[in-house]
Amino acid sequence: MSEEDKNGFLGKFKTTLSHTRTKLGRGIAGLVLSQKGISDEFLEDVETQMLTSDVGIEATTEIIENLRKKNNRKDLVDPAKFIQHLKGELIDILKPCEQQLEISKDKKPFVILVIGANGVGKTTTIGKLTKLYRKGGRKVMLAAGDTFRAAAIDQLQAWGEKNEVPVVSQKIGADSASVIFDAYQSAKAKGIDILIADTAGRVHTKDNLMNELEKISRVLKNQDQRLPDEVLLIIDSTTGQNALSQVASFKKATPISGIILTKLDGSAKGGVAFGLARKFNIPFRFVGVGEKVEDLIPFNCINFVEALFPDKDD
Ligand SMILES: Nc1nc2c(ncn2[C@@H]2O[C@H](COP(=O)(O)OP(=O)(O)O)[C@@H](O)[C@H]2O)c(=O)[nH]1
Ligand SMILES: [Mg+2]
């Protein structure tokens, strides 16, 4: 990625994360302003700010503990430098999760299964990914594996038309695994590079959802043991701490290889990234920062943390 792109992403990130910045970044910046030195009481206030910004108990405890140790070693005496130390701690938590999605040309079609709760942004994100990969010159096909609602099939078809890529679908109520199987066969025959499969978010019970996902995986594995190549879990960042239980339940149904955090634009809850990273250590592939097709940004932990804190001139 060019320097210009990186700066552009940071700028876009900062604008779209401005809500979160108000909460976490600005809250802490405000605390720092009134400090002469770093006291235990101050660290407790920082801890509270982090918890109310959805950073989560585990990540917060770990960060505050590290800062307390640094403070005891007299490394934090200058409140002006405190934010630099805190940013360092936040980046350390996210760093292991910064792994771009590599689409190997040897795996053809490369199969991406998109899963997640209802309304989190699965279908929209598929539209954005399609645009991105088409721009990169890849041949993309979509599979309408969310057969639960007619509108879901139409929505995916609309994204397919917009991006001029084929969409494999069946009628409403069809077996999702069978739609994805058909799509795989067709993608293979047509020399497609990337097949992206949508799935339903809402089924009658959790057991149903598990069975459906297990069946999809099984059907794909019957075609090729390595499949699916990527299982992307979509998480709506505005759900806050509930995101943790969503990951835990989907993980029971299928291994998850990547997470995309959506709706970071409208949310005060970007903090959830830290809790997820600390607890599950699953790579964040991209973040969704709006409803438009270009509103998808590769995850970068330094940009993410920088975007949380206000600039001097903000
Ligand atoms: N603001 C914002 N809205 C989003 C984002 N991603 C998806 N949405 C919206 O969330 C709603 C649900 O999206 P959809 O893709 O249908 O969710 P699905 O049920 O998981 O497939 C739609 O109104 C989308 O436009 C995002 O990154 N930011
Ligand atoms: Mg959908």
264, pLDDT greater than 70: yes
What value does the mean pLDDT take over residues 76-101?
90
Dist. CA 284–CA 98, nearest whole Å: 6
In contact, 80 and 312? CB cutoff 8 Å: no
109 lines ligand 1 (CB under 6 A): no
Q: Which token pair is 44?
A: 């407790």
268, pLDDT greater than 70: no
Dist. CA 192–CA 184, nearest whole Å: 9
Label residue 269 by pLDDT band (50, 70, 90): low
Which ligand places an atom closest to the C-alpha of 122? 1
Label residue 128 by pLDDT band (50, 70, 90): very high
Distances (CA, A) of 111 to 72, 103, 174, 280: 51, 9, 20, 23
74, pLDDT greater than 90: no
Dist. CA 280–CA 290, nearest whole Å: 25
What value does the mean pLDDT take over residues 175-180?
97
Higher pLDDT, 149 or 139: 139
- pLDDT > 90 in the chain, percent: 65
145 lines ligand 1 (CB under 6 A): no
204, pLDDT greater than 80: no
Q: Global pTM?
A: 0.92
193 lines ligand 1 (CB under 6 A): no
Q: What is the pLDDT of residue 30?
A: 82
The closest-lying atom of ligand 1 relative to the alpha carbon of residue 288 is: 27
Distances (CA, A) of 164 to 113, 153, 158, 241: 20, 16, 10, 38
119 lines ligand 1 (CB under 6 A): yes
88, pLDDT greater than 70: yes
Instruction: Kindly report the protein residue whose alpha carbon is nearest to atom 17 of ligand 1.
Output: 121
236, pLDDT greater than 80: yes
Choose among 130, 147, 152: nearest CA to 139.
130
Label residue 232 by pLDDT band (50, 70, 90): very high
40, pLDDT greater than 60: yes
